[in-house]
C-alpha cells in the first residue's frame, strides 16, 4: 500500500517536472516570434508552427493566440486536438458550421459560450443547441444565425427566459418573419398547443406594430387639426419626442396630450419639457405624483416655486416625496419646509412622518409608539389620504414590529 502511494507521488512529481520543462521549451521556441500590440500571437505565427510540424506546441499555447482561422482549427482537429480547440474557441474567428458540428458532438457547452467565434450558423446548429436546452444562448447571439425555421422560432418563443427582445430585433434570421402564417396559427390552435399559439400570435402582432412604427410619421402641420387619438397613436409608435416638440402646434387639449405621455411612461421626457409647459392648463398634481413615482425628488425640489405658481404647494410636494420616493430621499423634504410660507398648513403631518422615519431607522421602538399615540390624537379620525405612507409601513415590518401595525391599523396605509 505504502509503495503504491509513494509511486503515485513520484509520478505526480515527475509529471510536474515534465510540465515545467515543456513550458520552458515552449517559451524558448515562441520567443523567436514577435507578439503583436495586444501581447498575443497572430495567425501568421500559428501557420508557421503548422508548417514546421509543431502542432503540439501550437495546441499547448492556443490561449496566447488570437484571430486564428478555420484552417488552423482543421489542422488541430485532424491531429486529435479537439478538446484543446473546444476550450480555446475565444482565440478563433469565422469558424465554419462544419467545425461547430464536429465540436458539438462532445463540447456543445464550449460552442454555446463562443458562438461569435463562428461564421453564420444554420438551423441544424440551432437545433443541436435547442436539444441541449441552450434556448437563451441562441436568443442572445441570434444575429449569428441565418435561415432559422418556424419550429426553431416556436421553441425560442416558448422556452426563452432572457433576450426575447433580440428575437424581435433580429427577426430577419427567420425567412418568413414578415409574413403572418395563419395556417400555422390555425394548426397550433386546432391541436391544442395553446402556449405555442399564444406566443407566435404575440410575435406576429409585435412584428406588425414594429413595421407600422418604422413607417409611421406624425403630421405636425399646425394648420391641420390633430386629434388626441392621433397623438396617442404617435406615442404608441414611439414618436413621443415628435409629440413633445410640437406641443404648441396641436389643436388637441394640451392637458390630454401630457396625460397620454404620462400614461405611456414618458414622464422623463415630460420632465425635460417642463420649462415650456409652465402656465399651461395641465394637471400639475398628477405630474408631481408621477415624478415622485419615478423617484425624481431633485426635479420636484428644483422646480418647487414653479409648481407653487401652478397651485401645487410645497407641502403637497413634500407628501409626494415621503409617500413615493426612496426612503433615503426623505431628508430632502426639509429644504422644502425652509422655503414655505410662515405657518403654511400641513407641515405638522410632514414633520411627524420625518420623525417616524428617523425613529424606525434608529430602532427606537418606545419613542416611535409614543409618537404614534400623539399622531393619532392630533389627526383622528384618519382619512385615507392622510395615513402614514406605505414605505414607512414596510420599514416597520422589516424591523419585525408588525404588532405595532396591528395595534394602530387605522394609521397606516
The mean per-residue pLDDT over the stretch 326-354 comes to 70
Q: What is the pLDDT of residues 97-150, one digit of tens each?
A: 999 999 999 999 999 999 999 998 999 999 999 999 999 999 999 999 999 999
> Residue 68 phi/psi, 5° resolution?
-75, 155
Which tens digit of pLDDT belongs to each residue from 180-205?
A: 888 889 999 999 999 999 999 989 88
Mean pLDDT of 324-343: 69
Q: What's the rounded mean pLDDT across residues 382-395?
A: 72
CA distance 242 to 246: 6
Averaged pLDDT score across all residues of the chain: 82
Do residues 157 and 203 lie in contact, with contact meaning Cβ atoms separated by under 8 Å? yes
**Residue 167, C-alpha cell as written in the block:** 428575437
Percent of the chain with pLDDT over 70: 85
Report which secondary-structure segment, H or E, holds 150. helix 150-159
Q: Tell me the average pLDDT across 363-391.
A: 77
For the ranges 6-10, 46-50, 300-304, the maximum mean pLDDT occurs at 46-50
Q: What angle do CA 300, 303, 309 make, to 5 degrees?
A: 115
pLDDT, position 156: 96
- Residue 114 pLDDT: 94
* Spatial distance between the Cα atoms of 346 and 355, rounded to a whole number of angstroms: 15
pLDDT mean over 267-276? 84
User: What are the domain boundaries of the chain?
Assistant: 33-118, 120-215, 228-407
388 forms beta bridges with 412
**249: Cα within 13 Å, side-chain hemisphere:** 14
What is the average per-residue pLDDT within 209-219? 75
Residue pLDDT, tens place only, 288-321 = 888 888 888 888 888 888 888 888 888 888 888 8
**Are 163 and 136 contacting, i.e. CB atoms less than 8 angstroms apart?**
yes
Check residues 36 and 153 and name the one with the higher pLDDT.
153
* Runs of H (alpha helix) within 162-277: 164-169, 182-190, 194-215, 228-236, 240-245, 254-263, 267-272, 274-277
Q: Which residues contact 150 (CB under 8 A, 6 or more apart)?
A: 174, 176, 181, 184
265 CB contacts (<8 Å, ≥6 apart)? Answer: none
Helices assigned H by DSSP within 278-389: 284-293, 297-302, 304-309, 314-324, 333-338, 347-361, 365-379
For 246, left (φ over 0), alpha (ψ -120 to 50), or beta? alpha
For residue 392, the tally of other CB atoms under 10 A from its CB is 20
pLDDT at 18 over 50: no
Amino acid at each position: 500500500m505504502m509503495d503504491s502511494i509513494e509511486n503515485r507521488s513520484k509520478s505526480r512529481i515527475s509529471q510536474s517536472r515534465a510540465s515545467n520543462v515543456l513550458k520552458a521549451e515552449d517559451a524558448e521556441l515562441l520567443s523567436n516570434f514577435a507578439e503583436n500590440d495586444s501581447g498575443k500571437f497572430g495567425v501568421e505565427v500559428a501557420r508557421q508552427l503548422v508548417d514546421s510540424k509543431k502542432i503540439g506546441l501550437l495546441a499547448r499555447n492556443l490561449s496566447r493566440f488570437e484571430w486564428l482561422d478555420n484552417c488552423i482549427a482543421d489542422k488541430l482537429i485532424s491531429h486529435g486536438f479537439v478538446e484543446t480547440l473546444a476550450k480555446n474557441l475565444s482565440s478563433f474567428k469565422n469558424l465554419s458550421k462544419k467545425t461547430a458540428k464536429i465540436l458539438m458532438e462532445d463540447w456543445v457547452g464550449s460552442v454555446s459560450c463562443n458562438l461569435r467565434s463562428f461564421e453564420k450558423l444554420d438551423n441544424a446548429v440551432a437545433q443541436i443547441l435547442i436539444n441541449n436546452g441552450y434556448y437563451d444562448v441562441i436568443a442572445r447571439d441570434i444575429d449569428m444565425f441565418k435561415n432559422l425555421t418556424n419550429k426553431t422560432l416556436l421553441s425560442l418563443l416558448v422556452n426563452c427566459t432572457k433576450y426575447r427582445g433580440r428575437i424581435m430585433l433580429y427577426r430577419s434570421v427567420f425567412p418568413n418573419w414578415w409574413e403572418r402564417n395563419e395556417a400555422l396559427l390555425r394548426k397550433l390552435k386546432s391541436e391544442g398547443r395553446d402556449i405555442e399559439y399564444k406566443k407566435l400570435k404575440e410575435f406576429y402582432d409585435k412584428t406588425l406594430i414594429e413595421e407600422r412604427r418604422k413607417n409611421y410619421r406624425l403630421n405636425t402641420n399646425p394648420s391641420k387639426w390633430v386629434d388626441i387619438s392621433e397623438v396617442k397613436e404617435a406615442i404608441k409608435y414611439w414618436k413621443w419626442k415628435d409629440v413633445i416638440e410640437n406641443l404648441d402646434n396641436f389643436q388637441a387639449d394640451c392637458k390630454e396630450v401630457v396625460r397620454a405621455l404620462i400614461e405611456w411612461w414618458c414622464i422623463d421626457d415630460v420632465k425635460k419639457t417642463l420649462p415650456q409647459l409652465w402656465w399651461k392648463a395641465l394637471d400639475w398634481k398628477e405630474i408631481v405624483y408621477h415624478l415622485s413615482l419615478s423617484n425624481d425628488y431633485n426635479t420636484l425640489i428644483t422646480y418647487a416655486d414653479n409648481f407653487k405658481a401652478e397651485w401645487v404647494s410645497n407641502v403637497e410636494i413634500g407628501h409626494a416625496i415621503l409617500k413615493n420616493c426612496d426612503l433615503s430621499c426623505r431628508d430632502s423634504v426639509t429644504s422644502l419646509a425652509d422655503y414655505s410660507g410662515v405657518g403654511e398648513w400641513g407641515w405638522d403631518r410632514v414633520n411627524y412622518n420625518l420623525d417616524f422615519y428617523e425613529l424606525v431607522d434608529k430602532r427606537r421602538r418606545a419613542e416611535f409608539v409614543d409618537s404614534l399615540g400623539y399622531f393619532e390624537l392630533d389627526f383622528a379620525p384618519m382619512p385615507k389620504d392622510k395615513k402614514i405612507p406605505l414605505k414607512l409601513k414596510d420599514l416597520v415590518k422589516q424591523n419585525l414590529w408588525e404588532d405595532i401595525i396591528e395595534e394602530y391599523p387605522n394609521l397606516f396605509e
